[in-house]
Amino acid sequence: MNKPVELKAVPSVALWIDGKQKPATSTRAGDITNPATGQITRRVPFCNAADIDAAVQAAQRAFPGWRDTPALRRARILMRFRELLDANKDELARLITAEHGKTLADAAGSVQRGVEVVEFAMGIPHLVKGEYSEEVGTGVDCHSVRQPLGVCAGITPFNFPVMVPLWMFPVALACGNTFVLKPSEKVPSASMLMADLLKQAGLPDGVFNVVHGDKEAVDGLLNHPGVKAISFVGSTPIAKYIYETAAKNGKRVQALGGAKNHAVVLPDADFEFTADALIGAAYGSAGERCMAISAVVAVGEAADPLIAKLKDKASKLKIGAGDSKVDGKEMDMGPLVSRVHRAKVAAYVDKGVAEGAKLVLDGRTFKTAGDGFFLGASLFDNVTPEMTIYKDEIFGPVLIVLRVKSLDEAIAMINANQYANGTAVFTRSGGAARKFEREIEVGMVGVNVPIPVPIAFYSFGGWRNSLFGDQHVHGMEGVRFYTRNKVVTTRWPDANALPQGFNMPTLG
């Protein structure tokens, strides 16, 4: 059982408003738990509408000055922020592991993927360049500019406390917007460190703010007339709610949802290579990744040799606290994020057995001495599309295998699934891979790459119920999301004389 902690001994996370830490006015709060120990380590305030209003007002006040700061100077602040992220990457990884549970190496990798978005956003002077057409009529010119929206808000999930916020705010800030971030109430501490690093980088007060909480805080953002755009990443039911509510309130919105990512394995695949790739993709971060492979679709005779290898490798996974080592080596898998989530994932394993799937490896039997939220790796064979463990997103260390006769059957199955975030095909055949790539209706596709998370200068996002909205995050779609286009048509009676000078002009 969880050892009760005296709440007065547990520090509380603050809000970040106007460049400094502030307490919330709300008296509602939640616990932050270390998943490896089950211990409550901190409290987090659950903001009310007044707290949200204070953050949005700070962002509104900061907007005109930030909008009018030349893009070059905004980029230079992001360059300093990038250096500070790098200098603090170990501390960021430590905070992620302490609140989410994933291993330190995995946490550090996710920080690096977030830093890459900052590096993309540093190129903002080039990215927001408009178009110009001379003499569209006699003496008439036409040009377009991309301008910031105002106050933008980000609402993020528990599984990537640094990377997912970094998908959003570096691009939003680079474009000249101000920002209010509402991180997951389970993992709020890394966002507070990033706010401090932005201040150290020279970001003016009020440009970036952090609020905390649950539905009440989120509704405060969705209903605030001062918020112009909402970026959301989380589960599909909440993503749909966010999209509908924000759109009804006249806001621009991108809402990324849940996933069921399939890996199709053809009989000509290299099974050793494929099994290694699938084990990392299915059980890394204890399966709590929106791009985790959770369903293997084995074509023809691929199934038996592949499952034998998966079983062997999954049964040898090292499971333990994310910051622990055995014989100098890190764990492969940490605990799940919460006691409730662990119970939910274990219940899915029960359900799979009850519905007739073959349980090849039972993660429920995994035991540790402490009170952490650990679950071993589970592997199911003979799963069919009607089963709950196929239809639902489990978001835990449970890999299911479905057997099909052909690549066409695999593609049809994936295209019929409600989710369409990521998918992968494993084969040596260029023709089969090309057919898969062309016919699959999924947002992000890997060919012999199990987790095809796009690099920062491409855009991240799924199709169908994995994304509500028109623009994916980061890359050029991120720039388009956080700016609006204006077209200016100009006629002058005569040309103005340019001022004369002798020195090399500087603009930034």
Hey, which residues between 127 and 186 contact ligand NAD (CB under 6 A)? 155-160, 164, 182, 184-185
CA distances from 1 to 38, 174, 202, 338, 413 (A): 8, 47, 46, 13, 42
Where b means 16+ CB within 10 Å and e means fewer, 475-497 reads: bebbbbbbbbeeeeeeeeeeeee
Kindly name the residue from 47, 152, 175, 290 that is annotated as catalytic: 290
Amino acid occupying residue 346:
A
Q: What is the CA radius of gyration of the chain?
A: 24
Contacts of 312 (CB under 8 A, 6+ apart): none
CB nearer to ligand NAD: pick between 269 and 473: 473
Residue 20 as a binder of ligand NAD (CB under 6 A): the answer is no
Residue from 238, 281, 394, 456 in contact with ligand NAD (CB under 6 A): 238
What tokens were used for 143?
């040009």
Between 218 and 389, CB nearer to ligand NAD? 218
- Of 119-127, 130-138, 233-241, 365-373, which segment contacts ligand NAD by CB under 6 A? 233-241
Q: Decide: is 409 part of the binding site for ligand NAD (CB under 6 A).
A: no
Of the candidates 274, 417, 421, 471, which one interacts with ligand NAD according to CB under 6 A?
421
Supply φ then ψ for residue 456, to 5 degrees: -60, -30
Toward ligand NAD, which CB reaches closer, 176 or 258?
Answer: 258
Q: Which stretch binds ligand NAD (CB under 6 A): 8-16, 52-60, 144-152, 256-264?
A: 256-264
Q: Does 465 bind ligand NAD (CB under 6 A)?
A: no
The interface mask with ligand NAD, positions 310-339, x = CB under 6 A, is ------------------------------
- 393 lies in the binding site for ligand NAD (CB under 6 A): yes
Could you tell me the smallest distance in angstroms from the CB atom of residue 211 to ligand NAD?
A: 10
The candidate with the shortest Cα–Cα distance to 103, out of 388, 323, 418, is 323
Residue closer to ligand NAD (CB basis): 100 or 403: 100
Partner residues linked to 140 by β-bridges: 137, 491
Do the bridges between strand 227-233 and strand 252-256 make them parallel or antiparallel, or are there none, so unpaired? parallel
CB atoms within 10 A of CB 342: 19
- Is 294 a residue that touches ligand NAD (CB under 6 A)? no
Residue 256 binding ligand NAD, by CB under 6 A = yes
CB of 280 to ligand NAD, least distance (A): 17
Q: How far is the CB of 451 from ligand NAD (least distance, A)?
A: 12
- For residues 124 and 150, the answer to whether their CB atoms sit within 8 Å is no
**CB nearer to ligand NAD: pick between 210 and 404:** 210
233 CB contacts (<8 Å, ≥6 apart)? 155, 156, 157, 164, 167, 239, 255, 256, 290, 473
26 binds ligand NAD (CB under 6 A): no
Please state, as a whole number, how many other Cβ atoms lie within 10 Å of the Cβ of residue 11. Answer: 9
Is 373 one of the binding residues for ligand NAD (CB under 6 A)?
no
| Number of shown-chain residues binding ligand NAD (CB under 6 A) | 28
Kindly state the tokens that stand for 354. 């009850």
Told to check if 75 binds ligand NAD by CB under 6 A, we report no
CB 365 within 8 A of CB 345: no
Q: Based on the residue annotation, tell me whether 142 is a catalytic residue of this protein.
A: no
- What is the torsion angle, in degrees rounded to the nearest 10, for the CA atoms of residue 210, residue 213, residue 219 and residue 220? -50
Residue 247 token pair: 């759109």
Residue 504 CB, nearest distance to ligand NAD (Å)?
Answer: 46
Q: Contact with ligand NAD (CB under 6 A): which of 117, 124, 207, 233?
A: 233
Task: Give 303 or 336: the residue with its C-beta nearer to ligand NAD.
Answer: 336
**Tokens 């169908």, located at residue:** 464
DSSP summary character for residue 302:
G
- Which of residues 148 and 446 has its CB atom nearest to ligand NAD in the complex? 446
Q: In what order do the strands lie in the sheet with 140-148?
A: 132-137, 140-148, 483-491
Q: Which is nearer to ligand NAD, 271 or 395 (CB)?
A: 395
- Positions that interact with ligand NAD (CB under 6 A): 155-160, 164, 182, 184-185, 214-215, 218, 233-235, 238, 241, 256-259, 290, 393, 395, 421, 462, 466
Looking at the annotation, which residues are catalytic?
A: 290
